[in-house]
Each structure stands twice: as structure tokens, then as C-alpha cells.
Amino acid sequence: MKPPRKLHIKSYGCQMNVYDAQRMVDTLAGEGFVETASVDDADLVILNTCHIREKASEKVYSELGRLRVVKDDAARQGRELKIAVAGCVAQAEGEEIIRRAPTVDVVVGPQSYHHLPQLLARAKSEGRALETEFSVEDKFGFLAPPKPDAIRARGISAFVTVQEGCDKFCTFCVVPYTRGTEVSRPVAKIVDDVMRLADHGVREVTLIGQNVNAYHGEGPDGQSWPLGKLLSRLAEISGIVRLRYSTSHPLDVDDSLIEAHRDVPALMPFVHLPVQSGSDRILAAMNRKHTAADYRKAIDRFRKARQDIAFSSDFIVGFPGETEEDFLATLALVTQIGYAGAYSFKYSPRPGTPAAEMRETVSAEDMDERLVRLQGLIDSQQSAFNMAAIGKSVDVLFERPARNPGQIVGRTAYLQPTHVMAPADIIGQVLPVRIASLERYSLLGELAAPPHALAMRPVSSHITHGA
Ligand code: 5AD
Ligand code: SF4
């Protein structure tokens, strides 16, 4: 029997890329590849790239420079190392990569991962292969599902893509160009995926999509189902105790989603709802299609449906034309909402996007200074949110042994990492933990009842609902 070939994937960027990397591993498992953590013994290295912000493509070229050395070393030892570039930089700059980096054997865009085996074969026979078309077929139908061993190795929390692409065309964003227009997967396929994951030990599923709450997949009744209805259906699957979704757009917050937060206990009360800016002038220039007041209204609707709900967001500082007054409006919005956490970025012009043509740029010093102020405010809100857990009993889904011997780590509803001393058989269970302290971003606590009493609790403690 031939020894398995080894595959190393390095992923940059968003959760969608993490998920895509797993699908590539699953697809190539059918070709006899097994994953390796090191480039040094790999037969194939895939760089799964991100194009969303600054210098992403430069990072790819410098990584390719390092890989060329590894490839040459392997050749000297009589081994052949193939190098593939996948992800959004591959999509945006495919031809350029082929021209600039002769070491690359395969360039593959996000819509073509199911063709990886053929592309590798083509690279072998023709030297190199490139595919960055938005193919008409449904790639999900062709990507291999994960094997039981792979599911178990990845742990109790899994991502499932339900929607891909975006039609919003925010003026700063490359996503509509690299991931294409919005496509939703049918409900039945998602239900199958989640059932398979649950059968092999997954307890928490995060539905992902670039614009996940624009989901409108075909239901078993032939109707288009909104995200809230899909979430209600998935909550019925035995073994699934927690559901999440990311990333949402404020315009697509509909009644079904709000109702799901009210009615589906497995749906976690933690929503990532990017707003980008608190200034209506900048929101208009970004083509966000909503105002700061619209955003606040969306937040209020969630809060009415579920009191303990918390939010995170994304912000961009230094968008072209952003004045101090615009920036103060962002700080005011953050103060008003009160976040459990948020990401903030300096604006970075993306080639081919409308904002890259805007001339009123903000100086690097102003951007740096605004980023520091915004992050200071967000950090203080995050600390206050984490501190508020101290002394309380909170439900934690336990995921894996921690680095400290005897400790198990899990997450609260708000994704706060939480450590307790406990036996490893609590992994996969949701158990109440009395929080004693906060160490940096981690909560420390004790199981609210001794483990032997807890061992009597059923694994699946969620209540199911009809669709
Ligand atoms: N510059 C800076 N940040 C950006 N993002 C998207 N495009 C850009 C850009 N050109 C940020 C947005 C988005 C997050 C995923 O990345 O905040 O929500
Ligand atoms: Fe990009 Fe999100 Fe705007 Fe779509 S909604 S264009 S993914 S920032």
C-alpha cells in the first residue's frame, strides 16, 4: 500500500476560511492525503488566503518566498512538494500569482475547492493549474463530508456554511468580488450536515456566511426559509445544545430571527452585528444602507426578545472623509450600545472597490490615534462585561482539557473561555459554573455541584421546539 501523502494547510482570515480549510482536507482525504502540522514533511502545502484588509497579498508573497526554500530542500532530498494558493487572494490575483511566484503549482478560488483533485492532476501533467471561475454548479454538493474520525478530532464545536457571498457592496469591501453574489444552501442539506456532526459528538454549531442573516435557502416545503426558521429546525436535532450564527447585517434582521432568539433556548444570546461607523454621513459613504438609528432599533428588537442578549461588532476607523466629528459619533454609539467585545480596524483601500477611488484620505496619525481611542473604549466595555460574571453561576459548554493539568476549558454563552478543575468526562456537557475570578480574558470557577452529582444530569439539557 502507498504511504499517505501529507497535506499542510495554513489559513488566514475569517471563520469561513477555517471551514473551507476543513472541507479541503476532507476532499483531499479521498485522494489519500492526511493532515500534517508541519510544512517540513508535507507533500502539499495550501495557503488559504484572506484579502479583506491590508497587506494580505504581500504576506502571501513573503510566505511563498519561504516555501520556495522548503520546496528546493525537499527536491534535493528527492521529494516533491506541491504548493497551492487558495482563498480570496487567489480569487482576486490568480494570474498575478502565477506570474510572480513560479514556485506555485495550483491557484484555486473559493468556488472551486471541489475541483482540487483534478487541479492537482492537471498541475502534474501540465506543470501548473489555475481555476478562479465562479462555477455554476453547487460546490457544496461535491465537497466531501467529513469522516467520523475527522469530526471527533475537531472537537465538540463545529462551523457549517449555510450561505456564501454578499450582494450588499459596501464601498470598502472586497467580499462581493472575491466570494461572489449571495447563495444559500437548501435546508435539507444543512440538516443532514448538522445531524452527521451531532452523531459524532458535536454539541455546538455555528452557522456561517458572509451575510448569514440574508439566508433564504429552499425548505423541504419548497418555500424560501429565513435564518430564524432554519435555526428553529436545527434546534430539534438531538445532541445539538448550542446554536450560533455569524456574520450578520443590520438590514437583514427580520422577525424570524428575533422570534428565534425569543423561542429557541439553544440559540445563544450573543450576536455579532457589525455597524462599522456611528456616523450617518460615513455610513452613507460606505453604502451600508442604514443609519445609526436603524442599527440601534435592530439592537432594541433583540433586547426586547431576550433580556440577557449581548453584542459584538466590527468598526472601521479612518474611512475616507471621516472627520473627528464622525469619529465622535462612533464613540457615542459604542457608549450607547455597550458591547461585550468588538473588533476595530484601520481602513485599508482594497483595489477594485469604490472607496479605493475616494480621495479624501485620513492621515495615518489620525487613524492610529482614533484606533487607540476606540479600542480603549471597547476594552473597558469588554472588561466590565467579563467582570460582571464574577460571583454568578453561568452555563458552560466544556470543550477540551486546558493546558494546566486537571483543568477543563469551556465557553459561556458569550464565548468567554472558562476554566474549572474537573474530570475530563464533563467534555461535551453544559454545566453551571460558579465564577470566582477573571484572569486576562479567561474566567476561573468551580462546578456549581460536585461532578458525581452532575454526572447524573442528561447530556442534552436543551428543550426542543417545532419548526
Ligand atoms: N478596511 C478595513 N477593514 C475592513 N473590513 C472589511 N473591509 C475592510 C477594509 N477595506 C472589516 C469590516 C468587516 C470585517 C470583517 O473587516 O469591519 O466587518
Ligand atoms: Fe462586505 Fe459585509 Fe458589506 Fe457584504 S455586508 S459588502 S461582506 S462588509
User: What distance in angstroms lies between residue 432's CA and the mean position of ligand 1's atoms?
Assistant: 36
* CA-angle at 106, arms to 78 and 353, nearest 5°: 145
Instruction: Give the pLDDT of residue 139.
Output: 75
Which of 184, 180, 188, 272 has its CA nearest to residue 226?
184
For 299, the grid coordinates are 439592537
Atom of ligand 2 lying closest to residue 166 CA: 4
Say how far apart CA 83 and CA 92 lie, in whole Å: 18
The mean per-residue pLDDT over the stretch 284-299 comes to 98
What pLDDT score does 457 carry? 46
Residue 419 Cβ inside 6 Å of ligand 1? The answer reads no
Question: Is 249's C-beta closer than 6 angstroms to any atom of ligand 2?
Answer: yes
Is residue 157 within 8 Å of 204, Cβ to Cβ?
A: yes
pLDDT computed for residue 451 by the predictor: 54
Here the cell at position 27 is 476532499
Question: pLDDT tens digits, residue range 360-401?
Answer: 999 999 999 999 999 999 999 999 999 999 999 999 999 999
Q: Whose CA is nearest to atom 5 of ligand 2?
A: 168
Question: What's the CA gap between 411 and 404, in Å, rounded?
Answer: 16
> What is the Å distance from ligand 1's center to 378 Cα?
17
Rounded distance, CA 201 to CA 197, Å? Answer: 7
- The answer to whether the CB of 33 falls within 8 A of the CB of 7 is yes
Give the number of the atom of ligand 1 that is nearest the alpha carbon of residue 276: 17
**CA atoms within a 13 Å half-sphere pointing along the CA-CB vector of 293:** 1
Which residue of 166, 252, 290, 345 sits with most ligand 2 atoms within 8 Å of its CB, as the best mutation to test the pocket?
166
Q: How many CA atoms lie within 13 A of 363 on its CB side?
A: 4
Q: Which helix (H) or strand (E) holds 420?
A: strand 417-421
pLDDT computed for residue 441 by the predictor: 84
| CA–CA separation, 439 and 69 (whole Å) | 41
Query: In this structure, what C-alpha cell is assigned to residue 56?
Result: 494580505
Distance from Cα 225 to the centre of ligand 1, integer Å = 28
Higher pLDDT, 454 or 288: 288
Task: Name the average pLDDT for the chain.
Answer: 92
Which residue, 190, 170, 92, 204, is CA-closest to 355?
170
Question: Does 208 score more than 80 pLDDT?
Answer: yes
Q: How far is the CA of 306 from the centre of ligand 2 (A)?
A: 26
> Is residue 173 in contact with ligand 1, taking CB distance under 6 Å?
yes
* Whether residue 14 has its Cβ less than 6 Å from ligand 2: no
Do 269 and 413 contact (CB within 8 A), yes or no? Answer: yes
Least confident of 105-109, 137-141, 302-306, 352-356: 137-141
Q: Over 79-90, what HEC string results? A: CCCEEEEEHHHH
Q: Does the beta carbon of 211 sit less than 6 angstroms from any atom of ligand 2? A: yes
Tell me, yes or no, if the pTM score tops 0.85. Answer: yes
- Least confident piece of the model among 255-259, 359-363, 463-467: 463-467
Ligand located closest to 288 CA: 2
**Does 153 score more than 90 pLDDT?**
no
Strands 407-411 and 393-401, sheet pairing: antiparallel
- In this model, does residue 460 exceed pLDDT 50? no
- The one-letter amino acid code at 9 reads I
**Tens-place pLDDT, residues 398-442:** 999 999 999 999 999 999 999 999 999 999 999 999 999 999 889
Burial class (CB in 10 A: 0-12, 13-18, 19+), 162: buried
